[in-house]
Structure 1
Amino acid sequence: MANVKQVQVTFDCANPRAVSEFWKAVLGYVDPPVPSGFDSWDAFDASLPAEHQGSASACQDPNGVGPRLFFQRVPEPKAVKNRVHLDVRVGTGLTGDERVTALETEADRLEKLGARRLRLMPADGVDEACLVMQDVEGNEFCLD
């Protein structure tokens, strides 16, 4: 039997700190512990060579259950649809109008954080409704 591995989800982005702050607010995540010898992440970042400052950020589940999210600066802008995306589970166990209301309520909250609503995918008899959105840099995710 294989050992279970931990997973980190990595986002390519232009502004790692901004994307990290967005996902912290979405998921209730927190910053990882500050590296030894530094009193803040800003102090750590300032210690890096100028070309590496602001090039990465991360956040993690404060309970250690969910995957760590890592954000790395890349030079090119997002050009096409994501091949992998996150499903933020806000409607688990809900169906019909009750589920759509839960999705819409969370979408309203996330729009205030900079998210953009793309489309509601209605229930189709096989899958329940989900709401497709984009984060602050256009990465797609679903409210599920």
Structure 2
Amino acid sequence: MPSVKQIQVTFDCAEPERVARFWCEVLGYVLPPPPEGFASWDDFNRTLPPEQQGSWSACSDPSGVGPRLFFQRVPEGKVVKNRVHLDVRVGTGLVGEERVAKLEAECARLVALGAVRVRLLLADDNNESCLVMQDVEGNEFCLD
């Protein structure tokens, strides 16, 4: 049986640092420290050619359990729905009104950070309720 591999989830975006900071707030992740010899990421970026400055950012789970998130600048904007998205698990084990209340509370917190509420999908015969949202650059994700 093959060994389990670590994964990284990569986002194409226009403003990598902005999107990384948003996801740090959502998930409780942290930005990595700047490279050795630099007091800040701004100091490091100033050493790069202008076209490479601010071209990427990353964040990671401080406990080391969750995947690293990587954000890379791309020239084109988002055009269609994501083929892959994150489910932020805030309602695990909850059902009915209690679950919806938990999703709505987290939605309000994330909207204050710049997220956009898209729609609430109420429970049906197969799935519990979830809330579809977009991050600060329009990437879809679900509060589940």
Q: Which position in structure 1 is the counterpart of 2:97?
A: 97
Q: CA deviation at 1:40?
A: 1.5
Q: 1:16 matched to which residue of 2?
A: 16
- Distance across 2 between alignment mates of 1:21 and 1:44: 18
Q: For the residues of structure 1 that align with 2:121 and 2:112, how far apart are their CA atoms?
A: 21
- 1:32 corresponds in structure 2 to 32
Give yes or no for the alignment of 1:82 onto 2:79. Answer: no
Q: Percent identity?
A: 71
Is 1:132 the counterpart of 2:135? The answer is: no
Is this contact kept in 1: 2:21–2:31, CA < 8 A? no
| Greater Cα shift, 99-108 or 27-36 | 27-36
CA–CA distance in structure 1, aligned partners of residues 122 and 45 of structure 2 = 44
Give per-residue Cα distances to partners, 1:37-91, cap 9 Å, x unaligned.
Answer: 2122121111111110011000000000000000000000000000000000000
* Unaligned runs of at least 5 residues, structure 1: none
1:72 maps to what in 2? Answer: 72
Q: Give the aligned residue type for 2:135.
A: D
One-letter code aligned to 2:93? G
After TM superposition, the score normalised by the length of structure 2 is 0.98
1:84-103 CA distances to partner (integer Å, 9 max, x unpaired)?
00000000000000000000
Match of 1:4 in 2: 4
Q: Displacement, 1:33?
A: 2.8
> What secondary structure does 1:69 align onto?
strand
Q: Structure 2 CA distance, aligned partners of 1:9 and 1:45? A: 23
Given the alignment of the two structures, is residue 122 of structure 1 paired with residue 122 of structure 2, yes or no? Answer: yes
- TM-superposed deviation, 1:34: 2.1
Deviating more after overlay: 33-42 vs 9-18: 33-42
In 1, the alpha carbon distance for the partners of 2:91 and 2:44 equals 39
CA displacement, residues 1-33 of structure 1 (integer Å, 9 cap, x when unaligned): 101100000000000011011000000100113
Question: Mind listing any 5+ residue stretches in structure 2 that lack a counterpart?
Answer: none
> How many aligned residue pairs are there?
144
TM-score where L is the length of structure 1: 0.98
